[in-house]
């Protein structure tokens, strides 16, 4: 999940003057992050023959959502 997260972080570093453009940019980069993560899952299915899908998907969801936990922790 490092590669999709880094892609999102790189895309969000561009400054915009408009709040609407910033929201649209966030949605675009978040969708791109999810697309890259799905592509990596498809590649993993072909590369790793004995893959445990439930554990992999659970780990992926936890890693993707830990950013929100960090933001909530920081706001405290």
DSSP assignment, residue 59?
H
24-47 confidence digits (pLDDT tens): 888 888 898 889 888 988 898 889
- Angle between helices 53-75 and 19-47 in degrees, nearest 10: 150
* Residue 57 scores a pLDDT above 80: yes
DSSP structure class, residue 1: -
The CA-atom distances, in angstroms, between 4 and each of 1, 38, 68, 69, 72 are 6, 10, 15, 18, 21
Residue 47 pLDDT? 93
For 53, phi and psi rounded to 5 degrees?
A: -65, -45
Residue 22 pLDDT class (50, 70, 90 cuts): confident
pTM of the model: 0.65
Q: Are 22 and 43 a contacting pair, CB within 8 Å?
A: no
């Amino acid at each position: 999940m490092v590669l999709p997260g880094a892609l999102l972080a790189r895309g969000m570093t561009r400054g915009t003057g408009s709040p609407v453009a910033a929201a649209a940019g966030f949605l675009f980069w978040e969708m791109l992050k999810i697309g890259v993560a799905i592509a990596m899952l498809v590649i993993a299915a072909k590369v790793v023959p004995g893959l445990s899908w439930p554990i992999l998907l659970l780990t992926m969801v936890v890693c993707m959502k830990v950013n929100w936990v960090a933001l909530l922790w920081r706001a405290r």
